[in-house]
């Protein structure tokens, strides 16, 4: 920010405004700053978790952590999900327009589920998350949509079947048993169904990820994603920078055979998986 002493005013460049002052901008980063107090708050518990290796459950983090995550990811979903990511999938928008059954697994505060439900009123959406407090927040924001509901459940054993589309936004790598989750999702989907996986942008090696976005994600992963995964059964600990190859391996182990990357943004990679 610059200060002009002649007229006593502060100003931002258009780029600074897009990052710091406009929450509707696709590159807004202010949500990340609301995550930081939660990480500092959790520091003693995280230090203990590093020693024991037992991790820290999502629900045991400071409760404003999930608010920060929600705020951090919203601008990207608002900018890309309906306009770019869903249209990049093979035949999915046509199904959603006709009327499809959709599950958004690991939905957190449910912003992604709500965006899709509002855009496709003929389809039915369920948002699923194992964190009760997040589902309470998601339910509080439903604006009378009749095609949307939220349930507390685990990705590895949620109820329901015959889904045309399952989505996961920045959630698979947080899970202790992502292979079990992928396997259950595959069994709950129709044979011509699609899994859309939105994961943090990442290359396949450490060297590929030593850039500003990768550094932010490694820091977030160490404090949030890895402890969450290690606190669950299996505790695979993929981390937010697992990369496309490793995620595709998990999906293949879960029973998916056709896996591609039809879209990407500076912060996310979009994987499409089919049985
Ligand atoms: C990084 S947050 C992403 C939340 C939301 N999808 C978003 O993009 O804002 C990861 C979410 O995965 C959920 N999660 C982690 N492990 C889970 C599991 N085994 N089953 C269901 N949800 C899980 C957490 O509770 C959390 O809400």
Domain presence at residue 12? no
What's the mean pLDDT in 117-123? 96
Q: What percent of the chain has pLDDT over 90?
A: 87
Domain presence at residue 18? no
Average pLDDT, the chain: 95
What's the mean pLDDT in 193-219? 94
Q: How far apart (Å, rounded) are the C-alpha atoms in residues 241 and 204?
A: 8
In the predicted model, is pLDDT for residue 144 greater than 80? no
- φ/ψ region of 89 (left if φ > 0, alpha if ψ in -120 to 50, else beta) reads beta
What backbone torsions phi and psi does residue 141 show, to the nearest 5 degrees?
A: -100, 5
108 CA distance to ligand 1 centroid (A)? 5
Contacts of 14 (CB under 8 A, 6+ apart): none
Domain presence at residue 264? yes
Q: How many domains does the chain have?
A: 1
Give tens-digit pLDDT for 211-254.
999 999 999 999 999 999 999 999 999 999 999 999 999 999 99
Q: Using CA positions, which residue lies closest to atom 2 of ligand 1?
A: 171
What's the mean pLDDT in 263-269? 91
Domain presence at residue 185? yes
Domain presence at residue 210? yes
- Of 218, 217, 237, the residue nearest 227 (C-alpha): 237
Q: How far apart (Å, rounded) are the C-alpha atoms in residues 197 and 169?
A: 6
pLDDT of residue 1: 83
Residue 144 structural domain: 28-274
Determine contact, residues 68/34, Cβ cutoff 8 Å: yes
81: tokens are 């999900």
151 CA distance to ligand 1 centroid (A)? 13
Which residue bears the tokens 């697992």?
242
Determine contact, residues 114/144, Cβ cutoff 8 Å: no
Q: What Cα–Cα distance (Å) separates residue 19 from each residue in 15, 32, 39, 73, 133?
A: 6, 11, 21, 13, 29
Give residue ranges with CB within 6 A of ligand 1.
58, 69-70, 73, 106-108, 112, 129-131, 134, 154-155, 169-171, 174-175, 228, 232
H helices of 195-259, in order, are 212-220, 226-230, 244-253
In the predicted model, is pLDDT for residue 267 greater than 80? yes
Bridge partners (DSSP) listed for residue 168? 197
Q: Give the Cβ contact number of residue 3 at 10 Å.
A: 8
In the predicted model, is pLDDT for residue 23 greater than 90? no
Domain presence at residue 241? yes
Q: Using CA positions, which residue lies closest to atom 13 of ligand 1?
A: 106
Q: How far apart (Å, rounded) are the C-alpha atoms in residues 66 and 72?
A: 10
Q: Using CA positions, which residue lies closest to atom 9 of ligand 1?
A: 70
What's the mean pLDDT in 192-206? 96
In the predicted model, is pLDDT for residue 145 greater than 90? no
Atom index in ligand 1 nearest the CA of residue 175 equals 16
pLDDT tier, 269 (very low <50, low <70, confident <90, very high otherwise): very high
In the predicted model, is pLDDT for residue 160 greater than 80? yes
134 CA distance to ligand 1 centroid (A)? 9
Domain presence at residue 3? no
Residue 251: CATH number of its domain? 3.40.50.150
Q: How far apart (Å, rounded) are the C-alpha atoms in residues 260 and 263?
A: 9
Domain presence at residue 36? yes
Q: What percent of the chain has pLDDT over 70?
A: 100
Residue 123, classed as helix, strand or coil, is coil
């Amino acid at each position: 920010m610059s200060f002009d002493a002649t007229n006593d005013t502060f100003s931002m460049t258009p780029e600074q405004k897009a990052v710091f002052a406009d929450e509707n901008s696709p590159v807004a980063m202010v949500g990340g700053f609301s995550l930081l107090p939660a990480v500092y708050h959790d520091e003693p518990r995280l230090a203990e978790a590093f020693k024991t290796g037992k991790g820290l459950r999502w629900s045991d983090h400071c409760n404003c952590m999930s608010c920060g995550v929600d705020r951090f990811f919203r601008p990207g979903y608002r900018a890309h999900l309906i306009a770019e990511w869903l249209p990049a999938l093979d035949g999915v928008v046509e199904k959603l327009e006709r009327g499809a059954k959709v599950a958004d697994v690991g939905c957190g505060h449910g912003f992604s589920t709500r965006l899709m439900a509002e855009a496709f009123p003929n389809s039915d959406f369920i948002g699923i998350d194992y964190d009760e407090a997040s589902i309470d927040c998601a339910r509080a924001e439903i604006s009378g949509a009749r095609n949307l509901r939220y349930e507390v459940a685990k990705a590895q054993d949620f109820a329901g079947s015959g889904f045309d589309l399952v989505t996961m936004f920045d959630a698979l790598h947080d899970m202790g048993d992502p292979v079990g989750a992928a396997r259950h999702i595959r069994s709950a989907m129709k044979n011509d169904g699609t899994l859309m996986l939105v994961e943090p942008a990442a290359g396949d090696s450490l060297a590929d990820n030593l850039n500003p976005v990768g550094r932010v994600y490694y820091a977030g992963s160490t404090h949030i994603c890895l402890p969450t995964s290690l606190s669950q059964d299996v505790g695979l600990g993929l981390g937010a920078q697992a990369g496309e190859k490793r995620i595709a391996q998990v999906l293949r182990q879960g029973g998916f055979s056709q896996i591609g990357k039809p879209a990407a943004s500076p912060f996310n990679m979009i994987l499409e998986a089919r049985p």
